[in-house]
Amino acid sequence: MPTLITAGDLVAGAQIVGASDGALNIQTGPSGSKVNAVQLASNGAATFLQAPIFPTTPVVTSQTASAIVSGTKVNIATLTNQTFTGIPSWAKRITLMFQNLTKGGTSSPIVQIGSGTYDATSYVAAAFGAPNGNSVTAANSTIGFILEPTATSALVFNGVITINLMEAATFLYAQQGTLIGTSQGYSSAGTHACSGLIDRVKITTLNGTDVFSAGYINIFWE
């Protein structure tokens, strides 16, 4: 017969003495209606003797800060850049999605971030890939997160890039992404420290003047 440990019955300095079979039962509940809650076998195995009770309504904390907020898909055709502002301070990850983004010139697309204004210096960023099945090429940038490395016009991109808060104390962000097209693929990555938590993102080009001839962009943050 197992030894019983009953909630409320133990006093300071009490000792627990096991029964001859080495098992223990833990009881809970008010006086007169005790129930066996947990049984500990002689080999240390625990058995929960009562069904778990879960709240009927999930408990949600910091609902706003944990939400995923999606933007609206934007047509970037004929534009030199597209901006997204109003990113809240609680956002830890920003995701940009591209559909048939088409270069109108030869300048590579980049993403710039900022707090209050767009930063155009001090990025550590690079991209590499192979356009139209050609040899792999690579390029880096200090003025923004570069998304593809070629000086080729009319390239079409589909894909996703993410920008993650790496260190809140220094407002350091890390970027990574993948873009694909017909017979081509590109990967990119980089880091950049802002002056504060970012509240804006801009998609433009290295020279800042080439237009995009087609394509859509959307954003969400979480």
Q: What is the pLDDT of residue 35?
A: 78
> Could you give the CA distance from residue 179 to residue 176 in angstroms, rounded to a whole number?
10
Q: Give, for 128, the enclosing helix (H) or strand (E).
A: strand 124-130
Q: Read off the tokens for 165.
A: 């808060």
> Could you give the CA distance from residue 145 to residue 175 in angstroms, rounded to a whole number?
7
Report the mean per-residue pLDDT for the chain. Answer: 86
Residue 120 CB contacts under 8 Å (≥ 6 apart), including other chains: 112, 143, 144
Alpha-carbon torsion 198, 199, 203, 205, what sign?
A: negative
Confirm if 125 and 145 have CB atoms less than 8 A apart: yes
Q: What is the pLDDT of residue 19?
A: 63
How much of the chain, in percent, has pLDDT values that exceed 70? Answer: 83
| DSSP state letter for 89 | T
Among 10-19, 99-108, 203-212, the minimum mean pLDDT is found in 10-19
86: amino acid identity, one letter: G
pLDDT, tens only, 168-206? 999 999 999 999 988 889 999 999 999 999 999 999 999
Tell me which residue has tokens 């930063």: 119
Residue spans per domain, the chain: 3-48, 69-221
> Could you give the CA distance from residue 205 to residue 105 in angstroms, rounded to a whole number?
9
Architecture in CATH for domain 69-221 = Sandwich (2.60)
> Could you give the CA distance from residue 190 to residue 144 in angstroms, rounded to a whole number?
9
